[in-house]
């Protein structure tokens, strides 16, 4: 594990940071939004607000983790674009996407998107101490609590002025969901980042409420998984296991819950998360990597970039909780080999491939950068490995 952490401390500044630095748009601000499989950059492509939030988070966290002051300018560049262009000055909240020169393109508002902006702004505040960033993050927190939730949980999609809208963007597999596990997870993540930036009782209360929903409505103890897509009453709409989200939740919710310093809550939640991690290891870990998902008993065997990154952190997290679980430690080691040998794009200027088939061949139809393909998962994997090994110095 120390060797892996040391290697992660090389991958982050050696491959990931140079790649994303090169996408900085000096003319229009922010970062370019699309690069195809052949590394051809489209400077005229739309700029997803989720992508730019995640880039802001990435540079902010990397600057702090590596103690690298040179990364501050990249974080500040992303912050200016988010604060000046992604935020709707009239109705509040964050747009879905912008044109390449920073004008609203898709002005719908999604709870998921607001949560990632909170996560990013909170990380930037922790790096810089700039009070405006914290104020913007709190404003989005209040917006979510006032406009994006009801008595049972969080809603998904809205028009620009926050009227209810259809949720195609965060629904998949032929269903149209009124609530999703994915949005709930990342709202919790965003709130956790805000609480990490400054302890606040209202944020803590919202986090605890989400954990109750997670335990009572989303987690399925009989199937040892999270259900994914729901109607408004939390009726599951599909027999789907998302292995990547289950293993991501297993460590990310442990992290957020730990910030609250509630011993009883932490123990109860940690047991659920261990159950998820154990199920993923037993059912989805094959040939040194994680399959994607299982719908109605049919397994999607593609290996997705973000799923492998979250699985590695999830298995390390489970091993740290239970040192006797050497199977989790060994799975993490196998995953690291798979990532570095197959998923990492070793072409000059490459980052990671989006998707591989069972043989390890990359899908050449999938781009290297687009609104969902970002440095958030693999960058965070590297940073988590570095932080979790006190003997690694960068």
pLDDT tens per residue, range 65-93:
999 999 999 999 999 999 999 999 999 99
pTM of the model: 0.97
pLDDT recorded at residue 393: 43
Are residues 310 and 247 in contact, defined by beta-carbon separation less than 8 angstroms?
A: yes
User: Angle at Cα 293 formed by Cα 288 and Cα 296, nearest 5°?
Assistant: 135
pLDDT value at residue 1 = 85
Q: What is the pLDDT of residue 375?
A: 97
Q: Give 292-357 as a DSSP string.
A: -EEETTEEE--EEHHHHHHHHHHHHHHHHH-TT-HHHHHHHHHHHHHIIIIIB--STT--B-SEE-
The band of 276, judged by pLDDT with boundaries at 50, 70 and 90, is very high
Percent of the chain whose predicted confidence (pLDDT) is above 90: 97
For the chain, what is the mean pLDDT? 97
If phi over 0 gives left and psi between -120 and 50 gives alpha, with beta otherwise, what is residue 12?
A: alpha
pLDDT in tens, 377-389: 999 999 999 999 8
pLDDT of amino acid 324: 96
Q: At what angle do helices 263-284 and 326-338 cross, to 10 degrees?
A: 60
CA 284/CA 241 separation, integer angstroms: 10
Return the closest-CA partner of residue 81 out of 54, 107, 62. 54
Strands (E), the chain: 47-48, 97-98, 104-106, 109-110, 157-158, 179-180, 219-220, 225-226, 229-230, 240-242, 285-286, 289-290, 293-295, 298-300, 303-304, 355-356
**Predicted pLDDT of residue 203:** 98
Which tens digit of pLDDT belongs to each residue from 26-48? 999 999 999 999 999 999 999 99
Long-range contact pairs involving 332-337 (C-beta distance under 8 Å, separation at least 24): 332/1, 332/4, 333/1, 333/4, 334/288, 334/289, 335/288, 335/289, 335/290, 335/308, 335/311, 336/4, 336/7, 336/312, 337/288
Q: At residue 392, does pLDDT exceed 60?
A: no
pLDDT of residue 116: 98
> What is the average per-residue pLDDT within 362-372?
98
* DSSP label at residue 362: B
Task: Average the pLDDT over 278-297 and give the result.
Answer: 98
Instruction: Tell me the per-residue pLDDT of 318-363, one tens digit each, with 9 for 90 and over.
Output: 999 999 999 999 999 999 999 999 999 999 999 999 999 999 999 9
Choice among 1-5, 6-10, 388-392 with the minimum mean pLDDT: 388-392
The number of helices, as runs of H, and strands, as runs of E, in the chain is 13, 16
Residue range 225-273, pLDDT digits in tens: 999 999 999 999 999 999 999 999 999 999 999 999 999 999 999 999 9
- Fold of domain 2-388: Glycosyltransferase (1.50.10)
What pLDDT was estimated at residue 163? 97
Give Dmax (Cα) for the chain. Answer: 55
């Amino acid at each position: 594990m120390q060797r892996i952490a040391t290697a992660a401390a090389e991958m982050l500044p050696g491959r990931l940071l140079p790649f994303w630095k090169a996408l900085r748009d000096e003319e229009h601000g922010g970062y370019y939004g699309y690069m195809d499989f052949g590394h051809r950059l489209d400077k005229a492509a739309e700029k997803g607000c989720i992508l730019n939030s995640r880039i802001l988070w990435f540079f902010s966290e990397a600057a702090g983790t590596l103690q690298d002051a040179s990364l501050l300018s990249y974080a500040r560049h992303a912050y200016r674009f988010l604060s000046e262009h992604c935020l709707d000055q009239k109705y509040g909240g964050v747009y879905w996407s912008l044109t390449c020169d920073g004008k609203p393109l898709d002005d719908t508002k999604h709870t998921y998107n607001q949560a990632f902006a909170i996560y990013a702004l909170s990380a930037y505040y922790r790096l810089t101490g700039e009070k405006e960033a914290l104020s913007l993050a709190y404003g989005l927190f209040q917006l979510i609590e006032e406009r994006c939730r009801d008595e049972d949980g969080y809603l998904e999609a809205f028009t620009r002025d926050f009227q209810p809208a259809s949720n195609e963007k965060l629904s998949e597999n032929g269903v149209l969901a009124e609530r999703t596990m994915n949005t709930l997870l990342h709202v919790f993540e965003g709130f956790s980042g805000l609480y990490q930036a400054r302890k606040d009782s209202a944020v803590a209360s919202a986090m605890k409420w989400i954990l109750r929903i997670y335990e009572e409505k989303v987690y399925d103890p009989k199937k040892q998984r999270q259900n994914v897509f729901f109607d408004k009453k939390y009726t599951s709409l599909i027999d789907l296991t998302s292995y990547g989200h289950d293993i991501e939740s297993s460590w990310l919710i442990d992290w957020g819950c730990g910030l609250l310093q509630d011993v009883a809550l932490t123990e109860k939640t940690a047991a659920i998360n261990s159950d998820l991690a154990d199920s993923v290891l037993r059912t989805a870990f094959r040939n040194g990597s994680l399959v994607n998902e299982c719908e109605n008993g049919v397994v999607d065997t593609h290996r997705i970039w973000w799923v492998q990154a979250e699985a590695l952190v999830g298995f390390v997290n489970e091993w740290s909780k239970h040192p006797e679980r050497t199977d989790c430690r060994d799975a993490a080691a196998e995953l690291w080999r798979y990532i570095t040998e197959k998923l990492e794009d070793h072409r000059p200027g490459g980052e990671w491939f989006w998707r591989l088939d069972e043989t390890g061949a990359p899908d050449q139809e999938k781009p290297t950068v687009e609104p969902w393909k970002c440095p958030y998962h693999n960058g965070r994997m590297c940073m988590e490995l570095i932080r979790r090994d006190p003997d690694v110095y960068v």
